[in-house]
Amino acid sequence: MSKHDHTTNWRVLADRFIWSDTGALSLISEKISDKDIQEYLFTIHGDTISIEEIKKWRLKRTEED
């Protein structure tokens, strides 16, 4: 997988989180920082989600497993 594909994939998951799938953030690789996700969500979607909220959503899936 190229670096571009990796970047695209996490952004698609972030988009899914905004549009319909609250579990999508938990699928984003740990290599992508919470700050990167926050900046993307604000820049593209105007969403002001906090770093703490992002951490909560990213951990949710691991707690359920």
- What pLDDT digit, counting tens, does each position of 9-31 carry? 999 999 999 999 988 999 999 89
Contacts by 2-9 with C-beta closer than 8 Å and gap 24+? 6/31
Domain count, the chain: 1
Q: How far apart are alpha carbons 25 and 18 in whole angstroms?
A: 10
Q: Give the gyration radius of the chain's Cα atoms.
A: 11
pLDDT digit string, tens, across residues 33-46: 999 999 999 999 99
Give the range of the structural domain holding residue 55, as residue numbers without chain letter: 3-64
Q: Record the pTM.
A: 0.80
Residues 6+ away with beta carbon under 8 Å from 59? 26
